[in-house]
Amino acid sequence: MKVVVLGANGQVGHELVGALAPCAEVTALGRRGGDLADLDGLRETLRALRPDAVVNAASYNDVDAAEREPHAALRVNRDAVELLGREALHLRFALVHYSTDFVFDGRGKRPYVETDEPSPLGAYGRSKLAGERALEALGAPAIVFRTAWVYSLRRKSFVSTMLKLGRSRPHLRVVSDQVGSPTFCRDLAVATALVLHRHRDGAFEAFLEARGIYHLAGSGAVSRAELARATLALARHPEGQPIAEVEDVPTSAFPLPAARPAYAPLDGEKTRTRLGVALPPWRESLARALADEERP
Ligand SMILES: NC(=O)c1ccc[n+]([C@@H]2O[C@H](COP(=O)([O-])OP(=O)(O)OC[C@H]3O[C@@H](n4cnc5c(N)ncnc54)[C@H](OP(=O)(O)O)[C@@H]3O)[C@@H](O)[C@H]2O)c1
């Protein structure tokens, strides 16, 4: 199976290349070679490669910058995604795409299911929702995994930042009124590889039949402050190094250009029953992610 990974240098993209290696012939494209802002170039690349599947892990992800430059976000998160959907139909490849909990406003009282009405609070969420809708309108052979709070220790993420700050300061102030489903990028990549591998014969037809939105994030829900505490408690610390105290603060303590959903855990039941994959409880994955870390 020939698989193209777009955004191969990102948190998820990097892990995808490793997770797919045992079961696919992988072409890993970063910004160079696979620029989603260059629609003509992207079309040409796909037509030259003629893959069986494309996994789009590239995204305009800067939630705050998107408020200043919504068109740049739309180009990558809507226009390029629409092009991928069109090319998937034209070249008959299966498409995996990722979307976000930020399509929701976070005012719910229970984890979101796929049929809940999206209502994004900002430009990033609107651009990701527009990408979902473009694929749906085309009837593209696309599985869209909505995920949340993705972290790696390799690139800057909430978890890697807490680790760094928690090791250099005695006291951290972290928001406690945002609750979500932390997702280890490797878990997401492995689940994606399993779904592709299961459909390696006839991926196009299988994805056409299964097309739609699927929630796929770490199981359970936690506040950002609690996640920071869990990260520091599970991390290895050099002898004698104090572990920072984490103080709960409200979101209003850190004013940012884009509003964040307050309560947006994702319910993964549909994904478990229809696709046969579910991610482990967030705390287990966090422990695994931190166990891999080099001793500081
Ligand atoms: N991170 C989260 O908390 C989170 C939450 C919910 C959903 N998601 C979704 O999960 C998916 C994977 O996210 P991630 O956490 O792996 O993100 P990431 O680490 O920020 O990776 C995104 C990748 O996209 C690349 N990229 C940006 N603009 C591009 C362009 N015009 N052309 C080609 N590549 C471009 C980036 O390139 P550079 O390496 O050059 O920066 C980066 O490698 C995305 O669809 C995202 O929306 C993420």
Average pLDDT, the chain: 96
Distance, CA 60 to ligand 1 centroid (Å)?
6
pLDDT in tens, 152-181: 999 999 999 999 999 888 899 999 999 999
Measured distance CA(187)–CA(109) in Å, rounded: 26
pLDDT tier at 147, thresholds 50, 70, 90 = very high
pLDDT at residue 295 in the model: 52
* Pocket, ligand 1, Cβ cutoff 6 A: 7, 9-13, 31, 34-37, 57-61, 76, 98, 100-101, 128, 147-150, 155, 185
Measured distance CA(100)–CA(131) in Å, rounded: 11
Q: Mind listing the domains of the chain with CATH numbers?
A: 2-151+183-219+264-280 (3.40.50.720)
Distance, CA 176 to ligand 1 centroid (Å)?
25
Q: Two tokens at 236?
A: 């290895």
Q: Give the closest residue (by CA) to ligand 1 atom 21.
A: 10
Please give the span between the terminal C-alpha atoms of the chain, in angstroms, as a whole number: 39
Distance, CA 124 to ligand 1 centroid (Å)?
12
More confident call, 244 vs 53: 53
Q: Give the closest residue (by CA) to ligand 1 atom 42.
A: 10
Measured distance CA(50)–CA(95) in Å, rounded: 13
Distance, CA 111 to ligand 1 centroid (Å)?
24
- The average pLDDT across 147-156 equals 96
What is the DSSP secondary-structure string of 168-186? H-SEEEEE-S-EE--EEHH
Residues 6 or more apart whose CB falls under 8 angstroms from that of 251 comprise 175, 177, 178, 260, 262
Whether the pLDDT of residue 248 is over 90: the answer is yes
Whether the pLDDT of residue 296 is over 70: the answer is no
Q: Which of 271, 61, 258 is nearest to 152 (CA)?
A: 61
Give the bridge partners for 25, in sequence order: 2
What is the DSSP secondary-structure string of 117-167? PP--SSHHHHHHHHHHHHHHHHT-SEEEEEE-SEE-SSS--HHHHHHHHHH
Q: With b meaning 16 or more CB within 10 Å and e meaning fewer, what string describes 59-94?
A: bbbebebbbeebebbbbbbbbbbbbbbebbbebebb
| Active-site residue, from 60, 98, 112, 124 | 124
> What is the three-class DSSP state of 21?
coil
Q: Give the closest residue (by CA) to ligand 1 atom 12.
A: 57
Active site residue 112: no
Whether the pLDDT of residue 238 is over 80: the answer is no
Q: Two tokens at 283?
A: 């705390």
Residues 6 or more apart whose CB falls under 8 angstroms from that of 273 comprise none
Distance, CA 147 to ligand 1 centroid (Å)?
12
Q: Given ligand 1 and candidates 150, 162, 266, which is best to mutate, with the most ligand atoms within 8 Å of its CB?
A: 150
Q: With contact defined as beta carbons under 8 Å apart, do 78 and 85 qualify?
A: no
Q: With contact defined as beta carbons under 8 Å apart, do 230 and 290 qualify?
A: no
pLDDT above 90 as % of the chain: 93
Q: Give the closest residue (by CA) to ligand 1 atom 48.
A: 150
pLDDT at residue 287 in the model: 96
